[in-house]
């Protein structure tokens, strides 16, 4: 059974969605996305731990509270375990069980899922004592370098669904097009829907005066 670790910040998440969602909605939406991810890791048979910046609970996972930055928290956590670990971001609700199975069945020492724009949306590390994470910026390249310096083989996993982290208004389009979990249902409950203008696909929200 592989351990899945999901870092999560319950308070004031997803600030770049402020143009569409109010603070309370952003918090709820972040939990819905996390819930979609937890269902997938659990569904793939992983034991799932949330590393949260504060007290938090969600069905299907344990929570460890660590009031540290993302890298500091993850690296401290990695230093304390002795088993293969899958780190996965909480904002990729399109992830499927098949995606998770594909990563954790890699024959390499590590498997990395790049996010759009140079990020890392998930990383599987067979031996955490030989690896440390470095998120932010071009973390995809950084993680490739860290693995290479440690002499670890890496498989890069090619998946659109997992490369799609939800940060900005435009990203919500992907949930409405390809999602089928709680985060999609929550968006729809808020009256958010697809809108096509001049051939470009965006979103609009019923309750607002004008299209967002």
- Shortest separation between residue 107's beta carbon and its own copies, angstroms: 16
**106 contacts its own copies (rule: CB under 8 A):** no
On whether the CB atoms of residues 178 and 96 are closer than 8 A, the answer is no
- Does residue 173 interact with its own copies by CB under 8 A? yes
Nearer to its own copies, 27 or 134 (CB): 134
Does position 9 interact with its own copies (CB under 8 A)? The reply is no
Count other Cβ atoms within 10 Å, centred on residue 147.
Answer: 20
DSSP-H helix ranges across 68-159: 70-79, 97-104, 139-149
Q: Which pair of tokens denotes residue 36?
A: 């979609």
Q: Is 160 near its own copies (CB under 8 A)?
A: yes
> Does residue 201 bind its own copies (CB under 8 A)?
yes
Binding flag, residue 199, its own copies (CB under 8 A)? yes
Terminal C-alpha separation, the chain: 44
Near its own copies in 29-88, by CB under 8 A:
none
User: In the numeric block, which tokens belong to residue 19?
Assistant: 């143009």
- Distance between CA 66 and CA 95 in Å, rounded? 25
List contacts with its own copies (CB under 8 A): 96, 99, 114, 116-119, 136-138, 140-141, 158-164, 170, 173-174, 177-178, 194, 196, 199-201
């Amino acid at each position: 059974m592989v351990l899945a670790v999901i870092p999560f910040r319950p308070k004031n998440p997803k600030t770049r969605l402020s143009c569409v969602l109010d603070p309370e909605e952003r918090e709820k939406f972040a939990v819905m996305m996390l819930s979609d991810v937890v269902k997938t890791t659990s569904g793939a048979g992983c034991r799932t731990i949330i590393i949260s910046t504060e007290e938090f609970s969600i069905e299907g996972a344990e929570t460890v509270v660590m009031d540290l930055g993302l890298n500091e928290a993850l690296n401290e956590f990695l230093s304390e375990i002795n088993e293969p670990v899958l780190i996965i971001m909480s904002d990729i609700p399109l992830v499927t069980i098949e995606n998770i199975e594909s990563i954790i069945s890699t024959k390499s020492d590590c498997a990395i899922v790049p996010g759009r724009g140079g990020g890392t949306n998930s990383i599987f590390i067979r031996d955490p004592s030989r690896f440390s994470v470095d998120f932010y910026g071009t973390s995809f390249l950084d993680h490739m370098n860290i693995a290479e310096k440690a002499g670890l083989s890496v498989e890069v996993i090619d998946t659109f669904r997992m490369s799609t982290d939800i940060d900005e208004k435009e990203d919500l389009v992907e949930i409405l097009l390809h999602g089928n979990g709680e985060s999609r249902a929550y968006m729809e409950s808020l009256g958010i829907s697809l809108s096509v203008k001049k051939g470009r696909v965006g979103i609009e929200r019923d309750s607002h005066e004008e299209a967002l």
